[in-house]
Amino acid sequence: MNVVMLTGEVVSAPNKVSAATDGTPKTSFTIAVDGGTLPLHFAILCFGGTANTAAQLVEGDCIALSGKMTAHAVNRSMNVVANQIQLLTEENSNEHENTNTAAS
């Protein structure tokens, strides 16, 4: 089993939460990680409660995540399936709280 831990900035906001074939919530988004001279972009896929957490993210949020790297031979792509996401941007976290409070 492989484990990936990344810290980066959300560069494409998560799409709406949809359902996997078994009904589990799922969402995806992209983060950019400092790769030196060029940022590295990772496609992130989330399921279950992590998908619901990811749906609250907006472009520009700084996050830390852990998960596993998966590869797909058919479409020749690699993704990170995240099992934990933590928001690191303090000012954006306050905005999220205000948005969630206003929506209640």
Chunked mean pLDDT (size 10), the chain, 104 residues:
92 87 92 88 94 93 96 86 91 50 42
Query: What is the model's pLDDT at position 58?
Result: 93
Question: For the segment 90-102, what is each residue's pLDDT rounded down to a tens digit?
Answer: 654 445 554 444 4
The structure's pTM equals 0.78
Query: What is the model's pLDDT at position 73?
Result: 85
For residues 4 and 78, give the distance between their C-alpha atoms in angstroms, rounded to a whole number.
12
Q: Are strands 40-47 and 18-19 parallel, antiparallel or unpaired?
A: unpaired
Question: For the segment 62-72, what is each residue's pLDDT rounded down to a tens digit?
Answer: 999 999 999 88
Residue of 51, 52, 33, 53 whose CA lies nearest to 42: 33
Query: What is the model's pLDDT at position 91?
Result: 59
Query: What is the model's pLDDT at position 28?
Result: 94
